[in-house]
Amino acid sequence: MDTLVCIKQVPHPDHFGQITLDPVTKAIRRDGVPLVMNPVDRNAVEAALQVRERFPGKVTVLTMGPLQSREALEEALAMGADEGILLCDRAFAGADAYATALTVAAAIKKFCPFNLVLCGSETVDSGTRMVGPMLAEFLDVPYATNVRAMEFTGDATCLVEANLDNGCMKVELRLPALITVNKAINEPRIPDVMGIIQVAGKKLSTYRAEDLGLPAEKLGLAGSPTRVAGVWEFKKDRRSEVLQGSPKHVSSDAVARLREWGGL
């Protein structure tokens, strides 16, 4: 069973306070901010490795981004993935969820035969949760999102448990299929020394826009039907105060302050 994992390199969540936005392009400025593999994408890689432990096959990891995105692929290869694919071209820059899914789908169709595609449920830098479902539509395969558990009920069927707002649902998918996973599905392994050493001997291919056969107007910012219309700073203009003490004291003090401020 050949499994493909789509991953993304994102700003480190611990350094979000350093992120700024370009006032002209309205894109995130990543200069000086440490970059890591999107956290839940590591769960997707782990899920793929566990699939390979049960069924013979290959695990391929794919990402779209600048050359530095190789670092995320190399981490996945150190975890145990067999090969990596980087989609890297200035023509891909500024892609929204739709253009990203379209580009990745074109690469998969051309270079990545698969039985199963795995993605993280969302990325920490955008959180749209749209790329996975859109990718499934472009690949014309069934899909399930926000999956917290999965098991194979046969060589060509997979039973998944997906989180809902107030519960969960179980869905059986016929392969080939696409699944987006959340962090509850597993605990990602940490690459060991041998895994890191073996990265140098694994295949890591890079493809440009011309390799995909898509027209330029379908790629990047030009092919994105959604744009960031404006960026502004949120300024809190409401008065706030933290009250301390026993519940009885705090409640009576809160009523007194609200009367003083004209809230009651």
Do residues 179 and 214 make contact, with C-beta atoms less than 8 angstroms apart? no
pLDDT of residue 4: 97
Cα torsion angle, 5, 11, 227, 163, sign: positive
- Provide block-wise average pLDDT over 10 residues at a time, the chain (264 residues): 95 77 71 87 97 94 95 97 96 92 96 95 87 96 96 91 91 96 96 95 96 92 86 74 88 88 78
**Tokens at 183, concatenated:** 């962090």
Do residues 119 and 63 make contact, with C-beta atoms less than 8 angstroms apart? no
pLDDT of residue 148: 96
pTM, whole model, 2 decimals? 0.84
Cα torsion angle, 175, 179, 183, 188, sign: positive
pLDDT of residue 197: 96
**169 three-class SS:** strand
Q: Cα 94–114–79 angle (5° rounding)?
A: 75
**Tokens at 239, concatenated:** 């008065």
pLDDT of residue 165: 86
pLDDT of residue 20: 74
pLDDT of residue 22: 72
CA–CA gap between residue 190 and residue 49 (Å, rounded): 13
pLDDT of residue 177: 96
**181 three-class SS:** strand
pLDDT of residue 121: 94
